Chain A
Amino acid sequence: MIRIENISKRFRKLQVLDSINATFSSGEVISLIGPNGSGKTTLIKSILGMVRPDSGKIIVDNTPINGDPSYREKIGYMPQIGRYPDNMRIGQLFKMLRNIRNVSESKTDNDLIVSFELEKIAEKPMRTLSGGTRQKVSAAIAFLFNPPILILDEPTAGLDPLSSEILKEKIIQEKQKNKLILITSHILSDLDEITTHIMYLQEGRMLFFKDIELLKEETGELRLGKAIARVMKGENFGNEWIDRMFDITTEKNKS
C-alpha cells in the first residue's frame, strides 16, 4: 500500500531521514519507535506530503506522490498536537471536514465522536478545550472518513486511561478490517497488543524493521519492550533510551 524508496531529508545540518526503505501493506500495524528527534514524525509527514523529502520516492497505492492531493483521501491522520481555529465549535469542525469532502454525516464513521461523547460538547469553541479533549477530536477526525490507511502520531499521549482504552479498541477494530495502520508511540505497552511490525529509527536511520512474532521468537522475550531491548543490546546499539524503556516496562510488570 505504501512503498518508501530511499527517502532522505536534511534540515540544514541535521540529517533527519537517511535513505529509508520500507514497504507497508494492508492489514499491518506498524509501530514506529525511536528516541525523540529520530525522524518518526518527519517520515510520517513525508508520507502525507507535508514535508518534501530531498530525494527518494513514496508510492501510495501504486501512485507516486507528486503534486496531486487526492491520494490523501485514503489516509486518516492524527497529529501529535492538534490545534484548530479558536472560534470554531467542535460540531462545526466535523461539519466542515465532511463538507469539504462532500460526504454526508450518515456515511462517515462517527464511532469515536459517540464514544468520546464529543456530541455533548459540540457547541464548545475549540479554544476552550483541554489538550486531552483536542486529542480526542484529532482522533475522531482521523477515523472519520473510514480511510484504508491510518497514521497516528502519538495517539495515546495526553489521553486519560479510559479514553486511551477506547482508542485502542477502535484501532484493533480497524486492524481487523484489514487496514494499514502506522503508529508512533513511546508507550511500548500500548503497542504490544496491537502491533504486527516494528520499525526502529535512530538519528534518521532505520535500524531495523521486523515482524513482531519474529522479533519475539529471536529474542525469546514475550514483551515488546524487553524484546526490543534485547535486540538493541545484542546488536550493540545499546543506548540510554532503550535502557530507560526497559526499566519502565519491568517496573510495570512488577506492579
Chain B
Amino acid sequence: MMKLSKYVLYDILKNKIIIAYTLFLFIVSLSMFQMEDNSSKAMLSLLNIVLIVLPLVSLIFTTIHYYNSYEFIELMSSQPMSRTKIILSEYAGVSISLLSAFWVGVGLPVLLFAADDTGFALLFSGTCLSLVFTSIAFFASVLARDKARGIGLCLLLWFYFALIYDGIVLLILFTFSDYPLEKLTLLLTALNPIDLGRIFIMLKMDISALMGYTGALYKDFFGSSTGVLFTTGIMLIWITLPLWLAERRFKKKDL
C-alpha cells in the first residue's frame, strides 16, 4: 500500500495547486505575525483562517483529485490490488500532501513566533481538520457520480459545517435559553469538527474568560486531560467514520 501512496503523493506534491496553497498559508501566517505586535491577536486571526480555509481547500482539492485520478484508479483496480488498498493509498497520498502544506504554511510560522500551548492547539486542530475533511470529501466523491455533483456536494457540506451549523446551534440556544444547556452545547460542539477545533483552541487563549459561565464550564472540561482525550477521540471518529463509509461504498461501486 505504501508503494502506491508514494506515487500518489509524488504526483500531488508536484501539483501547482498544492504549492500555491502552501505559499498562501505561509504568506498569510507570516503577515499576521508581522502585522500584530501581540502574537495572541495574530493567533486569533490565524485561527479564523484555519477554520474556514482549511476545510474548504481539503474538501475541494480532494474531490478534484479523486475525479482526476478516476482513470488511474480504474487502472489500479485492473491490477491485482484490492479496492480497499487503492482507496486507502489515495487517502494517504492526499492527506499527507495537504498536511505537509499545512505544516509548512502554518506550522513553521507558528513555531517561529508563537510556539506555546495555543500554537500547538492550533496545529493539532488544523491537522485534525485536514484529515477530517479529506475523509468527508472521499465519502462525498465516492457517492456522487460526476465531478460537478461531487464538488457541489462538498461545497454544501462546507457551508453546512462552517456556517449553517452555527446558525442552527444559535437558534437552539436562543429558543431554549430558559433551560440549562451547557451539556447540550457540549454535545452539539462534538457534532461539528470545525466547532470542536475552534473551542479547543479558544480555551487555550485568554479570551475564554470572556465567555462567561459556559466558557468556564468549557474551560473546566476541555482544559482537563479528559477534554483533550475527548477532542482527540471525536476527531478520530470524524476521520475514520466517513473514510470507512467511503471504503465500503467504493468496494461495491462499478468503476
Contact = CB atoms under 8 A, between A and B. Distances in A.
B71 A79 contact: yes
A67 B80 CA distance: 11
Interface in B79-137: 79-83
Nearest to A77: B78
Secondary structure at chain B's binding surface: helix, strand, loop or mixed?
helix
Contacts of A49: 77
A70 B254 contact: no
B3 A87 contact: no
Contacts, number: 74
B255 A45 contact: yes
Interface stretch (B8-16, B44-52, B54-62, B203-211): B8-16
A34 to B, nearest CB: 19
Nearest to B7: A96
Taking residues whose C-beta sits less than 8 angstroms from the other chain, chain A's interface range is 20 to 34
Interface string A64-106: 0001111111010101011111111000100011011100000
Nearest to B13: A87
B7 A92 contact: yes
A79 B252 contact: no
A68 B68 CA distance: 26
B80 A71 contact: yes
A68 B252 CA distance: 13
Interface string A1-20: 00000000001000000000
Contacts of A99: 3
A50 B77 contact: yes
A93 B255 CA distance: 21
Nearest to A102: B3
B159 interface: no
Interface of B: 3-4, 7-8, 10-11, 14-15, 68-72, 74-75, 77-83, 251-252, 254-255
8 contacts: A67-B82, A69-B82, A79-B75, A84-B72, A85-B11, A86-B68, A92-B10, A99-B3
